[in-house]
Amino acid sequence: MTNNLVKRILNGDVRALASLMSLIEDGDPKVKAVLKAIYTYAGRAHVIGVTGAAGTGKSTVIDRMTAEYRRRRKTVGILAVDPTSLFSTGAVLGDRVRMRDHFVDDGVFIRSFATRGSSGGVSAAVRKAIHLLDAAGKEVIFVETIGVGQDQLEIAALAQMVVVVLTPQMGDEVQGMKAGLAEIADILVVNKADLSGADETVQQLTALFADEDFLILATSAIKDQGIDLLVDRIEEHRKKSLGNGKYQKKRLNLCREELLSLLREKVFAELAKKIDNDSLEAQVKLIAERQIDPYSAADRLARRIDL
Ligand SMILES: Nc1nc2c(ncn2[C@@H]2O[C@H](COP(=O)(O)OP(=O)(O)O)[C@@H](O)[C@H]2O)c(=O)[nH]1
Ligand SMILES: [Mg+2]
């Protein structure tokens, strides 16, 4: 069964992709064998994280960028981490259907992931999905996440580059987001430029990030304005970082993050086997009663498993 699935994935078979995505979501151990077999065939896709607050237009921007990439004859995979995000608007779904009409059937693969369940958390599930899409020949992979706190940082550990989507209405909020944006963003997009204040927001951001080398531009996804330029910028950014070694360094970082998270998962599973729940609860009780501090309790439990 595994061999057959592997072959189908490498051929870009949509049904095989869809069924494996479900297995990933369910945390099914069968996926691992497929992932192991396809891994050496993957590694060509450009993974772009798209994040920002709810309603800024991330899905719409992705949808339009997908149409643009399809015009450029690139295949696209889309992973939305928030289950409600990608299909929240009828318009977005409508566009997808339109895309289906216009382009080669399996040139685009879309899947949303629930933020619960799968072992190792959402990041682990999304990583697996990325490897599959990559092996299936998708050249560009968008990962949409809602950027709140920790999630924003997680996307930076999953994607080759990050596009943050803002809107003209965000004005003063942007100031407070400065540090977070500086940490993760490669490109800042002020979407909904058809609404008033977009130019001011772009100017404000440009001033705020005068010391950073990220790109700031305005789009109106709904009017399909600025999207081709955004795709140009993404491609330029990719070429530039390939040229100056940043891309390769980022690749190492992503691989390191993945390996460490898998190790953490394994070590934790071992730990759970060796420290039974009763001994854990006994320490919890002692900590709660302040008979022991949590640091010493952790040391004590760790000694039992030769750490
Ligand atoms: N005015 C305007 N509305 C937009 C634009 N892009 C998206 N929207 C609308 O904003 C709402 C949220 O869009 P959506 O893509 O679902 O946002 P997400 O939550 O960030 O994925 C929808 O009603 C879109 O039609 C735009 O460029 N201009
Ligand atoms: Mg969305």
pLDDT digit of tens for each residue in the chain (307 aa)? 788 999 999 999 999 999 999 899 888 889 999 999 999 999 999 999 999 988 899 999 999 999 999 999 999 999 988 645 444 333 344 444 444 443 444 789 988 876 554 445 788 889 999 999 999 999 999 999 887 555 666 888 899 999 999 999 876 777 788 888 888 899 999 999 999 999 999 998 999 888 887 899 999 999 999 999 999 999 999 999 999 999 999 999 999 999 999 999 888 888 888 888 899 999 999 999 999 999 999 999 888 877 6
If you measure from the C-alpha of residue 275 to the centroid of ligand 2, how many angstroms do you get, rounded to a whole number?
41
pLDDT value for 299: 92
- Around ion ligand 2, residues with a beta carbon closer than 5 Å are 58-59, 85
Q: Diameter of the chain by CA atoms?
A: 69
Q: From the CB of 224, is ligand 1 less than 6 Å away?
A: no
Q: From the CB of 192, is ligand 1 less than 6 Å away?
A: yes
d(CA 45, CA 73): 14
Q: From the CB of 54, is ligand 1 less than 6 Å away?
A: yes
Q: Pick the residue whose CA is nearest to atom 17 on ligand 1.
A: 57
Q: Is there a contact between 133 and 79 (Cβ–Cβ < 8 Å)?
A: yes
The model scores a pTM over 0.85: yes
Q: Please, which residues bridge with residue 216 across strands?
A: 188
Q: Please, which residues bridge with residue 146 across strands?
A: 52
Closest C-alpha to 258, from 109, 158, 121: 158
pLDDT value for 114: 66
d(CA 266, CA 31): 16
Cα 133 to Cα 37, 168, 291: the distances in Å are 14, 34, 52
The phi and psi torsions of 146 (rounded to 5 degrees) equal -85, 125
Helix (H) or strand (E) holding 216: strand 215-218
Q: From the CB of 292, is ligand 1 less than 6 Å away?
A: no
CA 116 to chain centre: 15
The phi and psi torsions of 164 (rounded to 5 degrees) equal -105, 130
| 265 contacts: CB under 8 Å, gap ≥ 6 | 119, 120, 124
d(CA 203, CA 293): 52
Q: Is there a contact between 155 and 143 (Cβ–Cβ < 8 Å)?
A: yes
Q: From the CB of 118, is ligand 1 less than 6 Å away?
A: no
**Which listed ligand is nearest to 78 at the C-alpha?**
2
Helix (H) or strand (E) holding 29: none
Helix (H) or strand (E) holding 206: helix 198-208
